[in-house]
Chain A
Amino acid sequence: MIKIVKRDQPSRAIFFFTPVLAIFLTLVAGGLIFFILGFKPFEALKFFFIVPIADKYGFSELLLKATPLCLIAIGLSFCFKSNNWNIGAEGQLTFGAIVSGGVALIFYEQEGFYILPIVILAGAIGGMLYASIPAILKTYFNTNEILVSLMLVYVSKLILDYLVVGPWSNPEGFNFPETRQFSDSAKLPLLFEGLRIHAGIFLALAAVVISWFVFYKTYLGFQMKVSGFSLKTAKYAGYKGKKMIILVFLISGACAGLAGVGEITGPIGQLHREISPDYGFTAIIVAFLGRLHPVGIIFASLVVAITYLGAETAQIFMQIPKYTGQVFQGMILFFLLASDYLLFFKIKFIGSKK
């Protein structure tokens, strides 16, 4: 007989094991789906997860996709750790990209070392401004930040749409919905000749280190931890709740904004409609898969980045839509939530009494 028993205490080993279990289950379920679709499961999974990163170029692409995911997820973990549910990182990314893109366009025919820092800063500020909207509404008007931040995603996408079709569209661009190319001074330097991986990865790594320090070494990190467990306790301890809500939203907005900057001043080099394949949403999965721990988030962002690449390979070699990637992302989250059940319960096998 199988019996489910409550654990006295979630064990630390299980805490880091369940994400691995979730990934394993995703592979099994993915293989099953491929089988039903008429592919050989192992071959299909190989196309999906191994072929894309088998060469130098593929590996650079992996890091390229993991960079924004990691950066945004780090920012989000500030919010999630302290009980603030910012799910509008995609909007903050878009708005950060709009502001930094606007600044880059001002300098479109100029060169100078000072341009890139200004462009990057503008992106961070843009993301912060956009994240401050749900934060201020939450602190002063008691609105639900989940709804507000989510709805603002679509607003920012429409603003971007309007700008690239209208006022900011390239005058020599034959009415394509895109802006001019940015000047080289407004672009992040490439790390290797012929590969697309760019200096944005250092922003992500810096964010990892800083967040680790803040979470585990500072008073702010301690307050976030307390608020995450119990807002009642935070209030009793006398923490300034409103200030903290605004601060974590600003940090998370800045990270998402920087991710936006990385995209448009990195691989894209201009503004157009599709600057992000929903990195802002996928990063939510990354944050939880990485257990809101900076190091965990690095691994999680690499794993999830593969699903983007695998989806493209699968589209080319197996003629299945690239949205399979989203199916895999969904499955990871699903299985993660399901296996988190094991955090609090364990399965016991009991010999039947007969």
Chain B
Amino acid sequence: MNTNLKISNVTKIYPGCVANDNVSLEFNSGKIYALLGENGAGKSTLVKILSGVIIPDEGKIYLNENNLKLNSPLDAKKNDIGMVFQHFNLFETLSVFENLIIDSDEQRDSLREKIDTIMKKYNFSIDLDIPVLNLSAGQKQKVEIIRCLIRSPKVLIMDEPTSVLTEQETSELFLSLKKFSEEGILIIYITHKLKEVMQLCDEVAVMRRGKLVSVSEIKNENIESLANKMVGQNLKTIKKKKANTSSDQLIKITNLNFISEDPFETNLMDINFSVNRGECLGIAGISGNGQSELFQVLSGEIISEKNSIEFNNNYIGDLNPQERREYLMAFSPEDRLEQAAIPQMKIFENVALNNFKSSNFFNNGLINENKIKEHSKKIISDFNVNTDNIELKSQFLSGGNLQKLIIGRELITSPDLLICFNPTWGLDVGAINYIHETLIKINEQNKSIILISTDTDELLKLSDKISVIHKGKLSKIMNAEEVTSEKLGILMGGAN
């Protein structure tokens, strides 16, 4: 039987962010659909709406022409929509079978039979009576899939299913998904990995900043075209004037590795690069390829081997961020509201987060509030933060003003190197221009920048050299003049 799922004009607004902006999409069984987009593009919100976890502000969902009222995950299950989340929802200490019967109202025996049939049919081999904690990530995912299959779903949604799988497990998963599809289950596959989309899917819908950007057939696309759609660049290349980069080396990273204990993080492998004074090194990549980890390693939130980072002829790999600041480094993290600043604290308190010793914010363990306030006023006027009240809680600053405050806080100590991560993410054009001008200006003052960004336009505009990070590895470092966005697109997709 044919299944038709229709999303019609769905809008979901969060305070300060439109997660889904009037999205309409149609799916038909027999095909595997990819929903592609960067982190924060709105794809997770969309599938959470489909699975009843989030209720949309506007819009309707139709399954075979029936308007569905999805007010809870249970409603989605009743309407034959199954979903496997990125993070497993299993009870680790219960057995596989116990996990499977929890949300089923069938008899134990008949259910067991049913599970056995499903497992035989799809070649799953999992011992039903061992605790879930003994399973590998791939096996846990199979348990989640079986949990959906028990209800013989019409629609199966997979949210970033391969982020914790090995290559082997991934190809097994793809085989199963293709089989499900042949049997008439409509499959929606959410990912930001382009290669997988090319390998597995028939049609692809791309989302960016809450909006549906395009729907097309895979055979009309390639990795590079999809990458372009995802990051939304246009091909114009405005570049700054070529700075008189010296050959005076400021920072050198040698054989830096980071192995994470968290399966949702990316390992960094064999990172090597150097940046000269007055130079801006851009690091491109599709988000989730190790940018966040690289930023943390460079800022000292993650400590590495002492000799792996040489800065101004000092080895500083084992220092924490505060100690690194004393060597004249500064950091502007990606997450303005949860990391770079604390919205519930006042502006001047947020300024005190950068405790550069000679600013004298704290003397003998005591807060020197006058000093901090004096300093804050200077930042506000020097960096055009649009407020005159430093007692204001920073949650009342717009994103652009908050980012100016953060950049100002980091730059007012005249650091030799600024490391920033998506500095203009989510800002309006005016603020973006201001930040870009500021970054160009500090390059002109012979200070260096490492710019980690998912915005290709921004990178081409500001960088002197560019490298691409993919799966925790850096490509070779290229001169910005030699780079085109097409070339970046290919490297971002993982080709050599």
Interface residues of chain A, those whose CB is within 8 Å of chain B, are 6, 9, 217-222, 225-226, 229-230, 232-233, 235-240
The yes or no answer to B250 lying at the interface (CB within 8 A) is no
The yes or no answer to B53 lying at the interface (CB within 8 A) is no
- How many Å lie between the Cα of A92 and that of B320 in the bound state? 33
Given A236-B331, A238-B325, A238-B355, residue A230 in contact with residue B339 (CB < 8 A): yes
- How many Å lie between the Cα of A220 and that of B364 in the bound state? 11
CB-CB < 8 A to A217: which residues of B?
366-367
Asked if A236 contacts B367 (CB within 8 A), the reply is no
Q: How distant is B271 from chain A, measured CB to nearest CB, in Å?
A: 20
The yes or no answer to B299 lying at the interface (CB within 8 A) is yes
- How many Å lie between the Cα of A6 and that of B325 in the bound state? 39
CB-CB < 8 A to A220: which residues of B?
365
| Selected contact of B301 from candidates A9, A218, A219, A235, CB within 8 Å | A235
The yes or no answer to B15 lying at the interface (CB within 8 A) is yes
Asked if A236 contacts B15 (CB within 8 A), the reply is no
Asked if A238 contacts B323 (CB within 8 A), the reply is yes
Asked if B393 contacts A237 (CB within 8 A), the reply is no
| Selected contact of A225 from candidates B15, B335, B345, CB within 8 Å | B345
Asked if B395 contacts A238 (CB within 8 A), the reply is no
- Residue from A221, A226, A230 whose CB has the most chain B CB atoms within 10 Å: A230
- How many Å lie between the Cα of A238 and that of B339 in the bound state? 12
CB-CB < 8 A to A222: which residues of B?
349, 352, 362, 367
- Residue from A6, A229, A233, A239 whose CB has the most chain B CB atoms within 10 Å: A233
- How many Å lie between the Cα of A238 and that of B318 in the bound state? 12
Q: Is the interface of A mostly helix, strand, loop or mixed?
A: helix
The yes or no answer to B322 lying at the interface (CB within 8 A) is yes
CB-CB < 8 A to A238: which residues of B?
300, 320-325, 355
- How many residue pairs link A and B with beta carbons under 8 A? The number is 64
CB-CB < 8 A to A226: which residues of B?
342, 345, 353
6 A-B pairs closest in CB distance: A238-B322, A238-B321, A219-B362, A238-B320, A232-B339, A229-B342
Asked if B366 contacts A229 (CB within 8 A), the reply is no
Asked if A232 contacts B322 (CB within 8 A), the reply is no
Asked if A236 contacts B340 (CB within 8 A), the reply is yes
Interface size on B, residues (CB 8 A): 32
Given A232-B338, A232-B339, A236-B301, residue A219 in contact with residue B321 (CB < 8 A): no
The yes or no answer to B341 lying at the interface (CB within 8 A) is yes
Asked if A240 contacts B339 (CB within 8 A), the reply is no
**What residue of chain A has the Cβ atom nearest to residue B352's Cβ?**
A222
Interchain residue pairs with CB less than 8 A apart (14): A219-B362, A222-B352, A226-B345, A230-B338, A233-B339, A233-B342, A233-B353, A235-B321, A236-B340, A236-B353, A238-B300, A238-B320, A238-B355, A240-B320
The yes or no answer to B333 lying at the interface (CB within 8 A) is yes
The yes or no answer to B344 lying at the interface (CB within 8 A) is yes
Give the contacts of B83-117 with A (CB-CB under 8 A): none
- How many Å lie between the Cα of A217 and that of B369 in the bound state? 9
Asked if A6 contacts B15 (CB within 8 A), the reply is yes
Q: How distant is A240 from chain B, measured CB to nearest CB, in Å?
A: 7
- Residue from A233, A235, A238, A239 whose CB has the most chain B CB atoms within 10 Å: A238
Q: A222-B352, A226-B353, A235-B301 are in contact. List 11 more A-B contacts (CB 8 A).
A: A218-B365, A218-B367, A219-B367, A222-B362, A226-B345, A232-B339, A233-B342, A233-B353, A236-B301, A237-B355, A238-B320
**What residue of chain B has the Cβ atom nearest to residue A221's Cβ?**
B367
- How many Å lie between the Cα of A230 and that of B324 in the bound state? 21
- How many Å lie between the Cα of A222 and that of B353 in the bound state? 9
| Selected contact of A237 from candidates B353, B367, B395, CB within 8 Å | B353
- How many Å lie between the Cα of A223 and that of B325 in the bound state? 17
The yes or no answer to B453 lying at the interface (CB within 8 A) is no
- How many Å lie between the Cα of A230 and that of B333 in the bound state? 14
- How many Å lie between the Cα of A9 and that of B394 in the bound state? 11
CB-CB < 8 A to A219: which residues of B?
362, 365-367
- How many Å lie between the Cα of A233 and that of B355 in the bound state? 13
The yes or no answer to B267 lying at the interface (CB within 8 A) is no
| Selected contact of A233 from candidates B15, B341, B362, B396, CB within 8 Å | B341
Asked if B301 contacts A229 (CB within 8 A), the reply is no
Given A233-B339, A238-B300, residue A218 in contact with residue B321 (CB < 8 A): no
The yes or no answer to B354 lying at the interface (CB within 8 A) is yes
CB-CB < 8 A to A239: which residues of B?
322
CB-CB < 8 A to B320: which residues of A?
238, 240
Asked if B15 contacts A229 (CB within 8 A), the reply is no
- How many Å lie between the Cα of A6 and that of B338 in the bound state? 20
Asked if B325 contacts A236 (CB within 8 A), the reply is no
- How many Å lie between the Cα of A65 and that of B184 in the bound state? 70
Q: How distant is B15 from chain A, measured CB to nearest CB, in Å?
A: 7
CB-CB < 8 A to A9: which residues of B?
393, 395-396
Asked if A236 contacts B366 (CB within 8 A), the reply is no
| Selected contact of A230 from candidates B299, B342, B367, CB within 8 Å | B342
- How many Å lie between the Cα of A47 and that of B228 in the bound state? 75
Q: How distant is A220 from chain B, measured CB to nearest CB, in Å?
A: 7
Given A238-B322, A239-B322, residue A229 in contact with residue B365 (CB < 8 A): no
| Selected contact of B335 from candidates A218, A221, A232, CB within 8 Å | A232
Given A9-B395, A218-B366, A226-B353, residue A236 in contact with residue B339 (CB < 8 A): yes
**What residue of chain B has the Cβ atom nearest to residue A222's Cβ?**
B367
Asked if B344 contacts A236 (CB within 8 A), the reply is no
Q: How distant is A234 from chain B, measured CB to nearest CB, in Å?
A: 9
- How many Å lie between the Cα of A233 and that of B340 in the bound state? 6
- How many Å lie between the Cα of A158 and that of B32 in the bound state? 62
Give the contacts of B354-406 with A (CB-CB under 8 A): 354-355, 362, 365-367, 393, 395-396
- How many Å lie between the Cα of A233 and that of B335 in the bound state? 10
Q: How distant is A322 from chain B, measured CB to nearest CB, in Å?
A: 39
Q: How distant is A235 from chain B, measured CB to nearest CB, in Å?
A: 5
CB-CB < 8 A to B339: which residues of A?
230, 232-233, 236
CB-CB < 8 A to B322: which residues of A?
237-239
CB-CB < 8 A to B338: which residues of A?
230, 232-233
Asked if B354 contacts A237 (CB within 8 A), the reply is yes
CB-CB < 8 A to A221: which residues of B?
367
- How many Å lie between the Cα of A239 and that of B344 in the bound state? 19
CB-CB < 8 A to A236: which residues of B?
299, 301, 321, 331, 333, 339-340, 353
CB-CB < 8 A to B301: which residues of A?
235-236
CB-CB < 8 A to A232: which residues of B?
335, 338-339
Q: How distant is A346 from chain B, measured CB to nearest CB, in Å?
A: 15
Give the contacts of B293-343 with A (CB-CB under 8 A): 299-301, 320-325, 331, 333, 335, 338-342
**What residue of chain B has the Cβ atom nearest to residue A240's Cβ?**
B320
Q: How distant is A118 from chain B, measured CB to nearest CB, in Å?
A: 29
**What residue of chain A has the Cβ atom nearest to residue B320's Cβ?**
A238
- How many Å lie between the Cα of A238 and that of B300 in the bound state? 8
CB-CB < 8 A to B335: which residues of A?
232
CB-CB < 8 A to A6: which residues of B?
15
- How many Å lie between the Cα of A236 and that of B336 in the bound state? 12
Q: How distant is A168 from chain B, measured CB to nearest CB, in Å?
A: 41
CB-CB < 8 A to B353: which residues of A?
226, 233, 236-237
- How many Å lie between the Cα of A221 and that of B345 in the bound state? 14
Q: How distant is A13 from chain B, measured CB to nearest CB, in Å?
A: 15
CB-CB < 8 A to B15: which residues of A?
6
